[in-house]
Amino acid sequence: MSTRLDIKVHHLTRVEGHGDIVVNMTDGVLEKARLEIVEAPRYFEAMLKGRSFLETAIITSRICGICSLGHQMTSFKATEQALGLEVSEQTLLLRKLLVHGATMQSNVLHALFLAAPDFLKVGSVFPLVASHPDVVKAALRMKRLANDIAEVVSGRAVHPISCVPGGFTALPTAAALRELKRRLEEQMVPDLAFAAETVAALAAEIPGFTRDTEYISLRSDDDYALYDGDICSSDEGRVPVAEYRRMTNEHVVSHSTSKHCRVNRSSYMVGALARWNNNHDRLCPAALEVAGKLGLAPGCNNPFLNTIAQIVESVHCALDSVAVIDELLTRGIRDEQPHQEPTRHGTGVGATEVPRGILYHEYTYDRKGLVVAANCVIPTGQNLANIDDDMRKLVPEVLDRPEPEIAHLLEMLVRAYDPCISCSVHMLDVKFVR
Amino acid sequence: MGNPFCGDDGVGAAVLERIRAEGLFPGAELIDAGTDALSLLDRFAETGAAERLHIIIDAAKMGCEPGRVVGFAPAEARRRIVWDRLSLHGLGLAEAFALAEGLGAMPRRVVVVGVEPTEVRMDRGLSDAVAAAVPEVIRLIRAEVRADEADHTGH
């Protein structure tokens, strides 16, 4: 068994900055096991100062082209709370549909393009195309349908257009919604079932690592909370969204330009697995059935099963999307105008679940509806400390394996979190430091 | 393809703007795909797409002098997959073509029109060399369209 280990997996970014996995062990003592992220600050919070409340969501949605919709929704909620803007039931339903679409798309692409190749022990999705072409085609079909949900409801697949504070500037037709419903039932649901079967066959390949962890997500009385709810910690229960700063505690660390977060322990996890642990009782029966088949049980503390939780909740999202569309069609689409006359000015906090975890936006507006201060806490940032803690437990457990295998396992661990290291685009460059 | 906020990476968008402004290629569908290479697969899957000519304009490091314009088929270029597999960021043209080919989803004819950048960095606006290349890009597109029409109607 090796008592000395020096691993550095170096991810170069295409724009600037980098993310490295670094492990140092001497004489059997683990000195360092962490994900070091260095990326240039992007100044979004500073950019928002002085901007109108009509612009905030447009700007913050550009934080990321993949998580764009989530940023918009969270931004609207913060603005609407700060300025006292009511939203209608129809707006809530349409936003829930959008959130379901974004969740399904992101989860499916992560599970099948990023994580599944790990379970299949192939280097990337490209060998998957040869060995499992039907799964890749299903993933692309699901992505397309999720894009179309965004296009029908919000006017565009990336960076929604018709969503504004207080409502929508354009509404989908009943016919378009009916067509989405048909495709969800006839295509998305079977495709998800197929994806779940494929992953179930690979379940034995998922590393059996566990670590006692605090899980933080939204929780709601009404539904499986994605768009709305209170903050919920597996350690302390429900907490009002207004207390989000206490539930994140962003602090600077020496080895990363990204801040780390902690609440009741040295770290916590957000994302699909956190949502599963806190809210499995709100999932529809079909999703629970898939969870059973995939070996996902309540109180799961294996971060590698985050991918499984993504598939399970996607099944729920597909079926709940149908239910939401049914409700919209029963009510009839009403030609409503967005409510954009502020009834107060002050501070508002929005919290939603984006695919990678709980996202917070807080804004303070002045009487003219201009931003005075802004704060955004991104899910991937909240997971960084947890990734470090996982690595610190995992490395000593696998010391007897060859170094390349340890490095690969650590990369798999990082991938399991579905990190979106904002838009510092990364190029993989693997080096072993001796 | 490309990001107009990254200097010469905006050449694709600039060419599209010129085509629109001058009303060129009236039968063509003009699409700004930005940095979403995966969306090409959606395009290729559309009804009738397999039979059409697809021209993709993008900044390309080809080892030439800045502003040089080269048209090539994907198969003519040796492909290096550099995607890091941490997220869907960084999934580029090479990766999209590899996926399309593996799935048998490549259309009949795809041409990449590459323009060698002076520099790709966060900045608005094209360098002089690349801005000057826009007419050459359009000339090359015109030639490709004509050649394709000739080939196609010949069958």
Would the pLDDT of B26 be above 90?
yes
Which backbone phi and psi does A257 adopt, to 5 degrees? -85, -10
- CB under 8 A, 24+ apart: contacts of B38-44: B38/A143, B38/B88, B38/B91, B38/B96, B38/B99, B40/B93, B40/B96, B40/B97, B40/B100, B41/A140, B41/B96, B41/B99, B41/B100, B41/B103, B41/B105, B42/A140, B42/A143, B42/A144, B42/A147, B44/B100, B44/B105, B44/B106, B44/B107
Contact B84 A426 (CB under 8 A): yes
Mutate to test the interface with B, among A68, A135, A426, A427 (most CBs of B within 10 A): A426
Give mean pLDDT, residues A255-275.
Answer: 90
CB neighbours of residue A42 within 10 Å: 13
pTM of the model: 0.91
Q: Name the DSSP letter for residue A370.
A: B
Which of A177-191, A321-335, A385-399, A418-432 is the least confident region?
A: A418-432
What is the SS3 assignment for A9? strand
**ipTM for the assembly:** 0.86
A232 and B CB contact within 8 Å? no
Q: Report how far apart the first and last C-alpha atoms of chain A are (Å, whole number).
A: 17
State the pLDDT at residue A43: 76
Backbone Cα Rg of chain A: 21
Residue A422: pLDDT band with limits 50, 70, 90: low
pLDDT of A282 > 70? The answer is yes
A126/B81 CB distance under 8 A:
yes
Mean pLDDT of the residues in chain A: 90
Is residue B15 a contact partner of residue B1, using CB atoms and an 8 Å limit?
A: no
Asked if A226 and A100 count as a contact pair (C-beta separation under 8 A), the reply is: yes
| A139-161: average pLDDT | 94
* Closest CB from B41, B86, B103 relative to A133: B103
For an interface test with B, which of A59, A129, A423 has the most B Cβ atoms less than 10 Å from its Cβ? A129
Q: What are the counts of helices (DSSP H) followed by strands (DSSP E) for chain A?
A: 14, 12
Which pLDDT score, from 0 to 100, does residue A11 have?
62
Q: How far is A367 from chain B (nearest CA, A)?
A: 33
Residue A240 is classified by DSSP as -
Q: List, in sequence order, the alpha helices (H) in A206-358.
A: 272-279, 285-293, 306-331
Pick the closest to residue A152 from A325, A269, A306 (CA basis). A325
Whether residue A264 contacts residue A319, with contact meaning beta carbons closer than 8 Å, is answered with no
Q: Do A53 and A327 touch, CB atoms closer than 8 A? A: no
Does residue A205 have a pLDDT over 90? no
Q: Kindly report, residue by residue over A36-70, the tens digit of the pLDDT.
A: 776 666 678 888 999 999 999 999 988 887 889 99
Q: What is the pLDDT of residues B58-100, one digit of tens each?
A: 998 888 899 999 999 988 887 777 666 767 766 788 889 999 9
CA angle A428/B83/B46 to nearest 5° reads: 170
* Cα–Cα distance, A416 to A273 (Å, whole number): 10
Query: What is the structure's pLDDT at B136?
Result: 97
Percent over 90 (pLDDT), chain A: 71
Percent helix, strand and coil across chain B, each to the nearest 5: 40, 15, 45
Q: A104 to chain B, minimum CA–CA distance in Å?
A: 15
Half-sphere exposure for A38 (CA within 13 Å, toward CB): 11
Contact A410, A391 (CB under 8 A): yes
CA distances from A345 to A86, A322, A349 (A): 14, 37, 13
Mean pLDDT of A22-44: 77
Dump pLDDT digits (tens) for A102-143.
999 999 999 999 888 888 888 788 888 988 999 999 999 999
**A38 beta partners:** A18
Q: At what angle do helices A133-154 and A89-109 cross, to 10 degrees?
A: 160
- Assess whether pLDDT exceeds 70 at residue A14: no
| pLDDT in the model for residue A428 | 27
The verdict on A120 touching B (C-beta cutoff 8 Å) is no
Using DSSP's 3-state secondary structure scheme, residue B135 falls into: helix
Contact in structure between A424 and A39 (CB atoms under 8 Å): yes
The band of A357, judged by pLDDT with boundaries at 50, 70 and 90, is very high
Residues sharing a CB contact under 8 Å with residue B102, sequence separation 6 or more, in sequence order: A126, A129, A130, A133, A136
CA nearest to B95 within chain A: A126
* Alpha-carbon span A218 to A226, nearest angstrom: 7
Is residue A17 pLDDT above 60, yes or no? Answer: no
